[in-house]
Amino acid sequence: MKFVSEPAIADKIRKMKQRVRWQDPLVVQRGIDQTRLVLDDGRTDEPEFSFLVVGDSGSGSHRTHNPQRQVAELMLPHYQECRFLIHTGDVVYLVGSSEYYQQNFIQPYREFLVGGEQPQRIAYDQMVFRFPILPVPGNHDYYDLPPIFGIASFITLPLRKLIGSKLDLDVGWHGSRQGDAYARAFLDYLKAFMFPSDLARHLDTHYTAKTKTGRCLRYEPGHFTRLPNRYYTFRYCGIDFFALDSNTFNDPPPLPATREGQADRRVLEKRRIEMEQQKQQIMEDSAKLNPDDPSEAEQLDDMRVKLSQIDEIIVDIDKQLTSGKTMVIDTEQLDWLKQRLIESWHTKEVRGRVIYFHHPPYVTEATKWEQAQTIAVRTRLRDVLDKVAEAVGSLTGGRPLVDLVLNGHAHCLEYLQTMDTGHADSNINWIVCGGGGYSLRRQRTEGADLLEDQRLVARSHLFVGRNGHSSEKRRPYSCLRIDVKDTRPPKFIIRPLVVERYQGQWCERQIQPFTI
């Protein structure tokens, strides 16, 4: 049995639209753009600025230590010099449920929150950030529990809390409720307004910023820090940022109804059975370990990592086995990205562009490159960028369409560059920032070069992830500081921030900054 279940893409889209009252008559009457925000901190005209990046952070305590809190403390010395924090998704593990926001998000990031001096008093759906946190949803932020597992989890929860589960996966008795917890935590949850007069008053209070695409939400640190939608854009100091929800365009294409397609299906079905067998073996092995023994606690942590990896593989296999029956592509969001990128290239004051979303199109982490979801996201992003390139023509002056792409999902820190891919995603800088606290992963044995049809399309220049074995195992958790310089096109100084757990101890690991 899978530990998680994932809503269909059509359900994700429909539910999220309901939560923000997408194109409600009162919204339309006011000419409000529900995909744009203005970050109102009084400093958007300064040519140089810095920001932080973290992802895949949302775990609780790992028995004897808390990696996420260690990473948060890495960022605190940069608090005054940076303007905002981009989160690349998977805010809360394992299934994004509301009951785990307190221990897996509010407590670790308490200094970033208004009232963080007493974090236990902050409700997950009432958070206000004194330091802007700008997330995108990850797959775990949409995950739910299979009904049987949810019932079992609920029944055994008091016992697990009393005796301490050997493989505590941070689940209660429900999941994200199809992304509802994420929406209540971060989005402007307009669905909560029961009366039109209350909604109208709210819109007139908080949607007061004016842009070329209409009125939009004004994000005010320390006062009102909601996001207008699951995907959105904002302009800061001449840089256009585009935040995407990749969970709604990651379905793989259907397996062909051919002999080869049927053979592929049988291979996938066989592999799924093998994954379930491996998972059962891990559960049996974990029962023999003592979580109070430091060395065995580390082994349990490794087992939790493996279980998470296996479940990801099973989810990917299931997407391929069911693709074609209910496959939906979020064309509305992809068309929006295309139009906004074209608009950005026609706006003279814009000097650079950054896109961030959860699933990385390019990555050398051990399990991701061959996944069907990775291929689907890469294909659909390429399609958008190809259309943008055709529309803007020589406006780019030979520059890449996008200066930087930030992702999570792969539990590591990685910097890659694409070569000539044959598409408009060529020669782009890609950073995977997914080492913020949960189950670090290793690099693939094939190494730093990524090939498609025997053609080199990308190369990794930095990989920071789990490495070593047994007593020499190292767990480097990570985040980033990025300094944006006053240049056109912009230069980015990438400053990796890494804290490593080695032989039961924590120490900061120094990695030299680099410029892209």
pLDDT digit string, tens, across residues 366-379: 989 999 999 999 99
Mean pLDDT of 343-348: 97
Residue at 282 is within a domain: no
Residue at 305 is within a domain: no
Q: How much of the chain, in percent, has pLDDT values that exceed 70? A: 92
Residue that is written with structure tokens 């792969």 in the block = 410
Quick check: 467 pLDDT over 50? yes
Query: How does pLDDT run across 206-255, given as a tens digit for each residue?
Result: 999 999 999 999 999 999 999 999 999 999 999 999 999 999 999 998 88
Kindly report the backbone phi and psi dihedral angles of residue 270, in degrees, each rounded to the nearest multiple of 5, phi listed first: -65, -40
Residue at 183 is within a domain: yes
* Helix (H) or strand (E) run with residue 152 in it: helix 147-163
Q: What is the pLDDT of residue 13?
A: 98
Report residue 304's pLDDT band, with 50, 70 and 90 as the boundaries: confident
Report residue 327's pLDDT band, with 50, 70 and 90 as the boundaries: low
Q: How much of the chain, in percent, has pLDDT values that exceed 90? A: 74
3-state secondary structure (DSSP) of residue 80: coil
Give the residue numbers spanning the domain of 404: 9-254+322-515
Residue that is written with structure tokens 């961030």 in the block = 356
Residue at 109 is within a domain: yes
Query: How does pLDDT run across 119-175, given as a tens digit for each residue?
Result: 999 999 999 999 999 999 999 999 998 865 544 444 444 434 433 445 556 666 789
Q: What is the pLDDT of residue 290?
A: 84
Residue at 293 is within a domain: no
- CATH number, domain containing residue 235: 3.60.21.10
Instruction: Say if residues 35 and 235 touch (Cβ distance below 8 Å).
Output: no
* Helix (H) or strand (E) run with residue 11 in it: helix 9-19
Say what the pTM is.
0.93
Report residue 2's pLDDT band, with 50, 70 and 90 as the boundaries: low
Residue at 259 is within a domain: no
- For 32-57, the three-class secondary structure string (H helix, E strand, C coil) is EEEEEEEECCCCCCCCCEEEEEECCC
Q: What is the pLDDT of residue 170?
A: 66
Residue at 19 is within a domain: yes
Top-ranked range on mean pLDDT: pick from 2-6, 57-61, 465-469: 465-469
How far is 495 from 509, CA to CA, in rounded Å? Answer: 12
How far is 215 from 203, CA to CA, in rounded Å? Answer: 10
Residue at 316 is within a domain: no
> In total, how many domains does the chain have?
1
